[in-house]
A and B are shown apart, each in its own frame.
Chain A
Amino acid sequence: GAVVSQHPSRVICKSGTSVKIECRSLDFQATTMFWYRQFPKQSLMLMATSNEGSKATYEQGVEKDKFLINHASLTLSTLTVTSAHPEDSSFYICSARPRKLQLAGGVGEQYFGPGTRLTVT
């Protein structure tokens, strides 16, 4: 099956610093990757959609200057939380949609990474 990895799985950083989270599709090409944020006992909230080689599309209320997304290749997308604050502490999870599925007009299946737990102190 399709595998998506995230690195790191856990990170603790100090307030004011920046942290980068990587999302990789290991055995398939993904033209589209998604970044979600999940608070305890809440749903996965879509933050942004990134397409390879183009700018990310951010959801309403998500600060694009704070959450920088780069999708430089068909297998890698990165999320950088800039000038992190304690309220940014959350579980960040990415997903990737296989290129061949997208071309075939698939339902919207996405393969998720295991998530990254960010704690800002």
Chain B
Amino acid sequence: DQQVKQNSPSLSVQEGRISILNCDYTNSMFDYFLWYKKYPAEGPTFLISISSIKDKNEDGRFTVFLNKSAKHLSLHIVPSQPGDSAVYFCAARVYSSASKIIFGSGTRLSIRP
């Protein structure tokens, strides 16, 4: 069973607008949630994270929101730029392990001019 789910395989957003990527999880044993960005032919790169005890974390154009009651998190990118076009993976760190991370299936974000 997939513990971290990204139900939208793709998303298209106009440049300058807000991009919202969503993620749901089923396991309450996650202590951190992370977002990774992946360009073609490259490995994922860490983007932003949020502790399970917080509900918001902001870093420049990127903001992650966590709704623990709904077991849902989202990544907001505003304003969206052409260089943001990539695959975004939602991930969660297992509380019992300092390193084990469970990934979602990814959402391909396309920023159109």
Contacts and interface: CB of A to CB of B under 8 A. Distances in A.
Given A107-B34, A108-B32, A43 B89 contact: yes
B77 interface: no
Interface string B26-58: 000000101010000111111001000000000
Contacts of A49: 99-100
Interface size class of A (residues with CB under 8 A): 20 to 34
A93 B103 CA distance: 13
Interface size class of B (residues with CB under 8 A): 20 to 34
A108 B43 contact: no
A46 B105 contact: no
Interface in A29-57: 32, 34, 36, 41-46, 49
Contact of B43 (A97, A105, A115): A115
A63 interface: no
A107 B103 contact: no
A6 B41 CA distance: 11
Interface of B: 2, 4, 9, 32, 34, 36, 41-46, 49, 89, 93, 98-106
Interface of A: 4, 6, 32, 34, 36, 41-46, 49, 93, 95, 97, 102, 105, 107-115
